[in-house]
């Protein structure tokens, strides 16, 4: 017996999502307008994983659509820790995102700890 197909999102779910998203988006836009400059997120891609690349591209699109600046930095994985330390001290970088896996090992956890809590 085949599993039933999941039901498409109904009007109720769409209305509920819109009722939550619209006020949140307005709050973000209002907060952005009060800033001297757009917040700048730096994404670091140090792998060849197509899913990570797609996620990075979606991140960039979402940032730009919502009034944030986004820079995708493609770096060699052996250089990533130094690049993260540089981003931690760069006042032009407001946030950092790393697209994992990089080493696909415990070493990735070390990279996570390298990102400043003020940029994470």
Give the tens place of pLDDT for each residue, 19-72: 877 888 888 888 888 899 999 999 999 999 999 999 999 999 999 999 999 999
Which single residue is written with the structure tokens 């001297």? Answer: 36
Q: Residue 17 corresponds to which tokens in the numbers above?
A: 């999502």
Q: Residue 58 corresponds to which tokens in the numbers above?
A: 């979606």
Given a contact cutoff of 8 angstroms between Cβ atoms, the answer to whether 102 and 74 are in contact is no
Return d(Cα 115, Cα 84) in angstroms, integer. 6
- Name the pTM for this structure: 0.79
> What integer best gives the mean pLDDT of the chain?
89
């Amino acid at each position: 017996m085949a599993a039933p197909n999941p039901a498409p999102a109904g009007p109720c779910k769409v209305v509920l999502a819109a009722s939550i998203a619209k006020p949140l988006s307005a709050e973000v836009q209002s907060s952005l307008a009060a800033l001297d400059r757009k917040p700048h997120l730096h994404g670091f891609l140090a792998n060849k994983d197509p899913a990570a690349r797609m996620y990075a591209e979606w991140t960039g699109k979402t940032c730009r659509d919502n009034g944030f600046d986004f820079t995708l930095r493609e770096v060699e994985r052996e250089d990533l820790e130094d690049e993260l330390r540089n981003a931690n001290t760069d006042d032009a970088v407001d946030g950092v995102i790393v697209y994992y896996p990089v080493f696909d090992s415990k070493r990735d956890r070390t990279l996570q700890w390298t990102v400043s809590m003020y940029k994470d």
